[in-house]
Amino acid sequence: MQERFVTTSELCERYGRHRNTLQRWQTTKGFPKPVIQGGHGAESRWRESDLKAWEDKQVFGS
């Protein structure tokens, strides 16, 4: 099965938060770092599996 990648815009919509919040979560809540760093108009991308694992930790408090 091929890994799905999620863009910054998709994450902002998914969580209802601004991209700055995602960056803050990386230092305060252990939010995954992007596997493909954006720049010059390109969006960063995260592995769907990394996001799911992070979400599961948030729900269960592990």
Reported as a single tens digit per residue, the pLDDT across 36-55 is 998 888 899 999 999 999 99
- pLDDT of residue 62 exceeding 90: no
What does the pLDDT look like over 22-31, one tens digit per residue? 999 999 999 9
Q: What is the pTM of this model?
A: 0.85
The pLDDT assigned to 52 comes to 95
Cβ 5 vs Cβ 37: under 8 Å: no
Q: Alpha-carbon Rg of the chain, whole angstroms?
A: 12
